[in-house]
């Protein structure tokens, strides 16, 4: 399974806040195609939720990477 995560940088010195979209994808290519073909709705949603964000970064991660991020960071779902 693959997931779209967004790293939200609130300032230049703090670690990013990590949000995970609830939709899971079967393959990396499917996940990448959604995140690359339709970034505007995803970014618009995040911009409304976090208007003070300095920078947003979308990427696809597999379940293992997601679990590692969860162990090392505070993750929220959207």
Is the confidence at residue 48, as pLDDT, over 70? Answer: yes
Specify the number of domains making up the chain.
Answer: 1
Tell me: pLDDT of 52 over 80: yes
Tell me which residue range forms the domain holding 57. 2-77
Mark 16-28 as b/e (b = at least 16 C-beta within 10 Å).
bbbbbbeeebeee
Quick one: average pLDDT of 26-47?
85
Going by pLDDT thresholds of 50, 70 and 90, the confidence category of residue 7 is: confident
Residue 74's pLDDT band, with cuts at 50, 70 and 90, is low
Q: What is the pTM of this model?
A: 0.76
- The residues near 23 (Cβ < 8 Å, ≥ 6 apart) are 3, 4, 34
């Amino acid at each position: 399974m693959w997931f779209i995560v967004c790293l939200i940088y609130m300032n230049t010195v703090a670690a990013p806040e990590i949000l995970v979209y609830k939709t899971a994808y079967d393959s990396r290519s499917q996940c990448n195609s959604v995140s690359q073909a339709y970034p505007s709705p995803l970014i618009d949603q995040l911009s409304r939720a976090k208007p003070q964000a300095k920078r947003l970064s979308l990427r696809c991660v597999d379940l293992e990477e997601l679990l590692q991020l969860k162990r090392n960071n505070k993750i929220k779902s959207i």
